[in-house]
Amino acid sequence: MKIMDKVKLHTRMYGWKYVWKEFAEEFGATVDDPNPESSSAGMSMIVPITKTPWALIYTMDPGMKGTNGGHTSIEVNYAPRGDFKFAIHPQKKIDDISKLLGMQDIIIGDKNFDPLFIVKGNDVSKVRDLFSVDQIRAYIIDEPSVQIWTHSDKMESKLSPKVVAGQPHVLSLRVPGAVDDFERLKRFYELMGMLLITLCKVEAAVEG
């Protein structure tokens, strides 16, 4: 049996926390799990991105007891260059992320991508450059419920307590529920890394 086959088996047998800890071990992450025996209790892990100054904060928030809520979020601090902002969310989804002030709807120009997502930003050229990377768009298309945004004080969404206090420049990703698949956790790691590198290339962030 291949290693990844074992991981998939563990997913079914032991639940999402086991998969997160497998991921943490492989990627050298620091785990914070106050209630390791409960799959309905949240946990987080700090995952360094190899050969970069960045570290991703993965958090599973189970939501309020007795509801079907809960979500997985991934956040990372970055050093900005200017005040570039963007947000992406699925079509038909309306929440605080989709109501960012001072941002306009932007068409990327991909017939497979544009019908699925609403993209907003305060710099059309930089947003299009950011999403010109084929692999970034492919990863996002594979996650039809994903939301990604740069943090803004105008938003009601709360940052993880592990995000540096007072740091307004945070890149965030969120999907519903607990991610219980090793490969999905890995794809989010790769997607966030690509976004950060591309933010630097379009001169919206500084690596360091």
Q: Is the pLDDT of residue 28 over 50?
A: yes
* Residue labelled with tokens 């540096």: 164
Domain ranges of the chain: 3-206
Structure confidence at residue 32 (pLDDT) = 93
Average pLDDT over residues 169-182: 93
Residue type, 91: Q
Q: CA quadruple 183, 137, 112, 95: dihedral positive or negative?
A: positive
- Percentage of residues of the chain with pLDDT beyond 70: 76
What is the DSSP code string of 29-82?
PEEE-S-TT-TTS-EEEEEEPTTSS-EEEEEEE--STTSS--EEEEEEE-EESS
| pLDDT band with cut points at 50, 70 and 90 for residue 101 | very low
Structure confidence at residue 38 (pLDDT) = 86
Q: Is the pLDDT of residue 125 over 70?
A: yes
Choose from 87-96, 100-109, 132-141, 165-174 the range with maximum mean pLDDT.
132-141
What is the DSSP code string of 167-187?
---EEEEEEES----HHHHHH
| pLDDT band with cut points at 50, 70 and 90 for residue 5 | low
The residue with greater pLDDT, 145 or 97, is 145
> Is 150 within 8 Å of 205 (Cβ atoms)?
no
pLDDT digits (tens, 9 = 90+) for 133-159: 999 999 999 999 999 999 754 444 555
In this structure, the number of other CB atoms found within 10 A of the CB of residue 125 comes to 10
Average pLDDT over residues 125-131: 97
